[in-house]
Amino acid sequence: QKEVEQNSGPLSVPEGAIASLNCTYSDRGSQSFFWYRQYSGKSPELIMFIYSNGDKEDGRFTAQLNKASQYVSLLIRDSQPSDSATYLCAVNIGNSGGYQKVTFGTGTKLQVIP
């Protein structure tokens, strides 16, 4: 079982719709969760991070975390063609010693259709 799993897609949504991206992780010790966006040929850029169960909103983006079920999701409201990219889920396993190993999922490709 992969440590961080994402559906590779592509996920196609019409412009203006809500895009829902999902990620599951295997390590119950995971403490921090991140979503990155990567345009083709470019570097990943951090969109959001979430540490606690529940929802965290930032503009059109909402991250949702459910530690009991070991999943984290990203909702993009009012999707725009410029949101078309690959979205990477990343999980940071930390401990009292400050260990900071990061594992990425393979990414979900999102296509927003005008």
Alpha-carbon span 102 to 75, nearest angstrom? 22
Q: Is 23 one of the binding residues for another protein (CB under 8 A)?
A: no
Q: Which stretch binds another protein (CB under 8 A): 21-29, 32-40, 52-60, 62-70?
A: 32-40
Decide: is 96 part of the binding site for another protein (CB under 8 A): no
Q: Report if residue 18 touches another protein, rule: CB under 8 A.
A: no
> Which parts of the chain fold into alpha helices (H)?
none
What is the length of the chain?
A: 114
Q: Least CB distance from residue 114 to another protein, whole Å?
A: 27
Tell me the CA distances in angstroms from 19 to 6, 28, 104, 113, one per residue in order.
14, 26, 20, 11
Amino acid sitting at position 44: P
- What single DSSP character describes residue 26? S
Point out which span in 16-24, 54-62, 71-79, 87-95 binds another protein (CB under 8 A). Answer: 87-95
The nearest distance, CB 14 to another protein, in angstroms, is 27
| Cβ atoms of residues 6 and 103 within 8 Å | no
Exactly one of 60, 103, 109, 111 binds another protein (CB under 8 A); which one? 103
Residues interacting with another protein, by CB under 8 A? 8, 32-34, 43-46, 49, 88, 90-92, 94, 98-107
